[in-house]
Amino acid sequence: MGVASVAVMDSGTFSVPSRAALNAPRRRRQARGWLAPETFVFDNLPPHQKDNQYIRRYYRANYSWKRSLLSLFSLHNETGNIWTHLIGVVIFVCLICATVRVAPEPLALGSSALSKLEQRLYAYGKTNLYELLETVESWEAKVLKVGSSGLGSIEERLGSFGLHNLHDLVEFQETLRRYGKRGVKELSGFGRLIRRFSRSGMEELASMEQRLVGLGPRALADADEAVQRALAAVLDTQWPARRWPVYVFMAGAVVCLATSSLCHLFGCCAAHVSTRIWRLDYAGIAVLTVTSFYPPVYYGFMCAPATRAAYLAASTGLGLAALAVTLLPFFQRPSYHRVRAATFAALGLWGVVPLLHASLLNAGVKEVQAAITLDVVMGVIYLAGAALYAARVPERWWPGAFDMVGHSHQIFHIAVVVAACVHYRATRILMHWRETTGGCGPGGLSPVS
């Protein structure tokens, strides 16, 4: 593919030499080695490809679409940029498949949820929760553990189910104390009697277990999901938690990494092609940054729908504004590379606002604090990579030493993939937290885990 005779840059015009006129292009045979067959030094590049003067060699220039595609499997100074993000695409496609296959976490009912469940069962005309749930085996375990030193631990365990049982507990404790050591021995004997006469029941339970196993794992999973949905309905909670914010983030990661790889692969084409292609690269970064806000905002403000909607709208609006700026032609000039880095860094720093708000709103929730810690790590990794890219370190210190491997753009690419993986871990923690606590009830109140 030929090169346009004139390329407009800034307010002047530059004569672009043809491929044959490029000063001694570096031609190499591909018989041995993986080096691209035709590479150039920085000084011999067309103006639209001159971006980083500290990377001196191994440039591709004036490649056709086909030749650019074939260069995917050869070595040049864009090989690392292409493959770091292609590998990231594979990673996130695998994570999407894994997340789809992961079954929802069952509800983890704490003391508050158990008390609420008991009240609802009473309202439905059911028996007391403890009479409903306690089995002969569990009562036997409690009987055998009873002793003068075990009364305090019984109080602690029963007290964890709710304050409304403490009065009954005190009466039960006083009764045991009046009963004395002789009574404790008789209770232990009663436990052995239960065990002896419950063999037929245990055999029946074993038979039932075998029948359940015979149903297959899928049937058991469906039965477990039905039980969890019934519990959620009784507790007026939402289960399982919505997963679409996680998928939005992972889709944004795939879009960003894929467009970046394509831009670095075909960015060596003619000026009218490469200038349009690089806009997609910047757009992909904006997409990833905005979509990464969705899971922490959605799960962090799940019980505050108005605040959640406001933050999601603001994040999306800022992302669209950044996207509009990146599509302007002047934004791609080499002199604006610091502005580009600052724009995306500022967009990422906006996420600190809802993050701190969510931390205050859910203070004391260990899952939220763990996710925020990971997001802080993500931000540090991303900003460190962006700072190196803006400063063009380390190639600035040793021009020509990092032409093939280790220059700032490759480091930034690796930082983006690592930061996205760290953020994925944070989103899984938040998703797990909302699933186990049942999200929010109709009244907008978060259940206590």
φ, ψ for residue 23 (rounded to 5)? Answer: -60, 100
pLDDT band at 278 (very low <50, low <70, confident <90, very high): confident
Give the contacts of 141 (CB within 8 A, at least 6 positions apart).
none
For 217, half-sphere exposure in the C-beta direction (CA atoms, 13 angstrom radius) is 1
Considering only residues 256 and 328, tell me which one the structure prediction assigns the higher pLDDT: 256
The domain locations on the chain are: 6-62, 79-105+241-437, 111-235
In the three-class reduction of DSSP (H, G, I as helix; E, B as strand; rest coil), residue 124 is classed as: coil
The residues near 430 (Cβ < 8 Å, ≥ 6 apart) are: 295, 296, 299, 300, 367, 368, 371
- Residues 362-369 have a mean pLDDT of 91
Instruction: Kindly state the helix (H) or strand (E) to which residue 39 belongs, with its residue range.
Output: strand 38-39
At 250 the pLDDT is 97
pLDDT at 329: 73
The whole-number pLDDT of residue 438 equals 83
Mean pLDDT across 391-406? 95
Tell me which DSSP letter residue 163 carries.
G
268, 78 Cβ separation under 8 angstroms? yes
pTM of the model: 0.70
The whole-number average pLDDT for the span 275-280 is 86
Is 357 annotated to bind a ligand? Reply is: no
Q: Which residues of 133-160 are buried (b: 16+ CB within 10 A; e: fewer)?
A: eeeeeeebeebbebeeeebeebbeebee
Share of the chain above pLDDT 90, in %: 41
- Please give the pLDDT value at position 179: 52
- For helices 199-214 and 166-197, the axis angle rounded to 10 degrees is 90
- Of 97-101, 258-262, 324-328, 414-418, give the lowest mean pLDDT range: 324-328
Structure confidence at residue 107 (pLDDT): 83
Homologous superfamily (CATH) for 79-105+241-437 = Rhodopsin 7-helix transmembrane proteins (1.20.1070.10)
pLDDT greater at residue 96 or residue 219: 96
Q: How far is CA 325 from CA 23, 275, 282, 332, 359, in A?
A: 36, 15, 10, 10, 31
The percentage of the chain sitting over the pLDDT mark of 70, rounded to a whole number, equals 64
How far is 60 from 39, CA to CA, in rounded Å? 5
The amino acid present at 259, given as its one-letter code, is T
The torsion angle over the Cα atoms of residues 298, 300, 305 and 311, rounded to 10 degrees, is -70
Distance CA 161, CA 113 (A): 9
Alpha helices, DSSP H, located in 136-198: 136-145, 151-159, 166-197
pLDDT tens digits, 332-359 = 676 776 777 677 778 878 988 999 999 9
β-partners of residue 15 are: 6
What's the pLDDT score for residue 225?
76
* Mean of per-residue pLDDT scores for the chain: 76
Model confidence at 285, in pLDDT bands (50, 70, 90)? confident
Does 264 appear as a known binding residue? Answer: yes
Return the SS3 of 106.
coil
Q: Which tens digit of pLDDT belongs to each residue from 179-208?
A: 555 555 555 554 554 455 445 545 555 555
Which of 148-157, 208-217, 389-398 is most confident? 389-398
Predicted confidence (pLDDT) per residue in 99-116, tens digit? 999 988 888 777 667 677
Q: What is the pLDDT of residues 238-269, one digit of tens each?
A: 888 999 999 999 999 999 999 999 999 999 99
Long-range pairs, 304-308, Cβ under 8 A, ≥24: 304/361, 304/444, 305/444, 307/357
Determine the Cα–Cα distance for residues 42 and 133; give it in Å rounded to an integer.
76
